Structure 1
């Protein structure tokens, strides 16, 4: 099989390219720019384009398929050539389905928790050395790539994103996988550039349920009111199972599952609900509750999901992917509840199109009330790049409903502020889907002042 990737440098795209290369396919690709770690990974397998840019001569009649990434535009010369030649053009979720249509497909959907639930399932399956394929949105410990597609595996576990499949396929990705077992972790409005109203966004989850295959199963968070309403109104012929927060206790900053007191390396109500979703999926895959608890006790979390950067002198520094209002609120509350005797400094970078929209910004009201110091950072260059009107401190404080919110739009000033706080018995939570203007967060975490005032 000869496959060409247009926009091969994307996160999922380059991982799928590597997976197909490992499967023995002849893979080529192009892009106008490729960043790390995509560049090094593609280079390792001999898949890095010799030069950047688009060239319609890359498209030849002997190609079995062209896979189109979201980064490409509709007028991409390679895409136009492929269309003119009548070649089969897939989005990457379409091609994942083509590769796995004879397998059992587990698809994890929802506005939050998708990566963590998927990662938990993969961790447990890997623990018991099960043969499985996967697609997940983060690099996981013990896994070389974020995509694996083989001939032998009887099942695939897929993180099902609700964003669009490609520039010429405006369907959400998770509609294309046709799940046998589906999870919805919750619904919280996002991607307003594509789904301008909450009703538009919610409708995508209704359609997702309709794509579940006959006799399939839906596992959903029954703690989500709107999701509960949606599920109760179902007419699709699927079996439904709800889940919430499992019984647990917290002692000395460690969460234990009850009644067997399984110690966990993760914490927070949101993560515990994710764990329950993963447990229910694993039950469907033949792994019982006791086996699940044994395996999940060693799960340390997905990358950038409450990832511990440093811990000393009763100070923990966490990095988290949280960026939407619901994720922000849940992550702050999780850290606050896990360490009730410590202060909490919470810093969110607003980076996505939705979060930088003034109308949507109001959704952040009261999301940071559980933190002792609340900081909002926006890279001043972001507004220029996205051609949007900049926010003022007043805009941010009004939207978050707090005059106590500190606002920074310069990463150097933010870093200087944090380095001048005494973090003894104080946790720091850094949340973003961006990179805080290029700040080295690991280095920052090590340099914070955590010395007891008595020792100074």
Structure 2
């Protein structure tokens, strides 16, 4: 008989993808949520998994359920969760469930403050290119893959993007601690979650725990140029192999980024910037450890396309180019701005960053952005006036200008004014870079792209 699994907050990006892959494996899936946005809504609907009404319904929690998977969107006092606890049902966070299902597989975890989605996506692309059998969990929808998660009975290996956010409403441990990886890559550490890790030391501790939790004969791969990772990478554990990596040597031929190989070949790639050369080197190091040769890696990498919103080119003419990037933390904003300026040194660059996350709108954290937009010819910061929390209202334009240490910085709080400003810059600007994990207050990117 098929096992029945209920999802509390099925609308989440990771949650609904896990629900879809389990349905494909023959599980009976049910779920609830109090809000379901696109694309989750359409995808759940297509597979007959969209709840008939939004909200929480304790009557859905029956003794016959094999398991309940609870997402971070639910609260501790969620009526379905309370009922599941009362019935003594098996309750998992999704990282716990992924671990349970992959105990017989080789587990590879990609962690770090930045680059993990791109590194994971590169590894998946290379494995798929060479027709390898694998399972995975990745934090963004990537080209060539129907879902963001896959679990099958026979794949010998699973590639997991592991983040440091809490696992569930009743489990505050970082998600990646559940995976117990045989191979772990840590791409870099940049404190950008003040709301979860109030101090730098607490943030670093999470990554040290990840390194310490690895089983014997584990392999820890880390960015050698990141000072904090040096500390983690050099911790005394004789039973773990430590492999540092540096950015892959690269160049540009007629504006086309190329990887420079040891054999003297130039391999064209669709990624640019020093941080992406690190991402490529990290992915290549992992691939080497799971049976992909350098030659096979170089054969596959030219067809890898940037993940959505990771230096994604939205539009290009002979004179102008528009990029969209997920960058929001200080380290990411600085690395992305520098990468774009380096790629287009002769063109005027207008760089726009939205202070969208709770950390970035925390007045005490603002100073971390000092100098991050220095290489842009014109720098812009967007703060949504309609933000639901009270942090934004207390931050003035002067606070932002002072924090970024850039007197000529433009600060906008209204999407229409930002749009008008960008269009006004059209004839004098060669490169536009929009950075945010949000939507710039609903800015009409399609209209801007066309204009």
Q: TM-score range by the shorter chain?
A: over 0.9
Candidates 235, 249, 256, aligned match of 2:237:
235
Q: 3-state DSSP class of the match of 1:294?
A: helix
Q: Name the TM-score, length of structure 1 as normaliser.
A: 0.96
Q: 3-state DSSP class of the match of 2:313?
A: strand
2:400 matches 1:396: yes
User: Could you tell me which residue of structure 2 aligns to residue 96 of structure 1?
Assistant: 98
Q: Is the deviation greater in 180-189 or in 252-261?
A: 252-261
User: Could you tell me which residue of structure 1 aligns to residue 433 of structure 2?
Assistant: 429
Q: Name the TM-score, length of structure 2 as normaliser.
A: 0.97
* Aligned-pair CA distance for 1:209: 0.5
Q: 3-state DSSP class of the match of 1:437?
A: coil
* Aligned-pair CA distance for 1:182: 0.5
* Aligned-pair CA distance for 1:387: 5.9
2:322 matches 1:313: no
User: Could you tell me which residue of structure 1 aligns to residue 341 of structure 2?
Assistant: 336
List 4+ stretches of structure 1 deviating above 6 A: none
Q: 3-state DSSP class of the match of 1:223?
A: coil
Candidates 190, 209, 223, aligned match of 2:225:
223
Query: Aligned partners of 1:219, 1:6: CA distance in 2, in Å?
Result: 35
User: Could you tell me which residue of structure 2 aligns to residue 454 of structure 1?
Assistant: none
CA contact (8 A) 2:361 2:391 kept: no
User: Could you tell me which residue of structure 2 aligns to residue 166 of structure 1?
Assistant: 168
CA contact (8 A) 1:310 1:442 kept: no
Equivalent residues in 2 for 1:367-378 (5 A)? 367-378=372-383
* Aligned-pair CA distance for 1:301: 1.0
CA contact (8 A) 2:67 2:91 kept: yes
* Aligned-pair CA distance for 1:385: 3.5
* Aligned-pair CA distance for 1:69: 0.5
Q: 3-state DSSP class of the match of 1:14?
A: helix
CA contact (8 A) 2:324 2:433 kept: yes
Query: Aligned partners of 1:239, 1:432: CA distance in 2, in Å?
Result: 36
User: Could you tell me which residue of structure 1 aligns to residue 444 of structure 2?
Assistant: 440
Unaligned runs of 5+ in 1: 448-456
User: Could you tell me which residue of structure 2 aligns to residue 255 of structure 1?
Assistant: 257
Q: 3-state DSSP class of the match of 1:175?
A: helix
Query: Aligned partners of 1:417, 1:389: CA distance in 2, in Å?
Result: 22
CA contact (8 A) 1:138 1:302 kept: yes
* Aligned-pair CA distance for 1:438: 1.1
User: Could you tell me which residue of structure 2 aligns to residue 54 of structure 1?
Assistant: 56
Query: Aligned partners of 1:387, 1:277: CA distance in 2, in Å?
Result: 37
2:389 matches 1:385: yes
- Post-superposition CA distance 1:279-333 (Å, at most 9, x none): 0111111111111011001111111100010000231111100000000000000
User: Could you tell me which residue of structure 2 aligns to residue 137 of structure 1?
Assistant: 139
Q: Is the deviation greater in 27-36 or in 416-425?
A: 416-425
CA contact (8 A) 2:70 2:92 kept: yes
* Aligned-pair CA distance for 1:238: 1.1
The number of aligned residues is 446
- Post-superposition CA distance 1:252-288 (Å, at most 9, x none): 2211111310011110000010000000111111111
Q: Is the deviation greater in 213-222 or in 418-427?
A: 418-427
Q: 3-state DSSP class of the match of 2:232?
A: helix
Q: Is the deviation greater in 36-45 or in 422-431?
A: 422-431
Query: Aligned partners of 2:326, 2:118: CA distance in 1, in Å?
Result: 11
CA contact (8 A) 2:384 2:392 kept: no
C-alpha distance 234-405 of structure 1, shift in aligned 2 (>3 A): farther
Equivalent residues in 2 for 1:135-284 (5 A)? 135-235=137-237, 237-258=239-260, 259-284=264-289
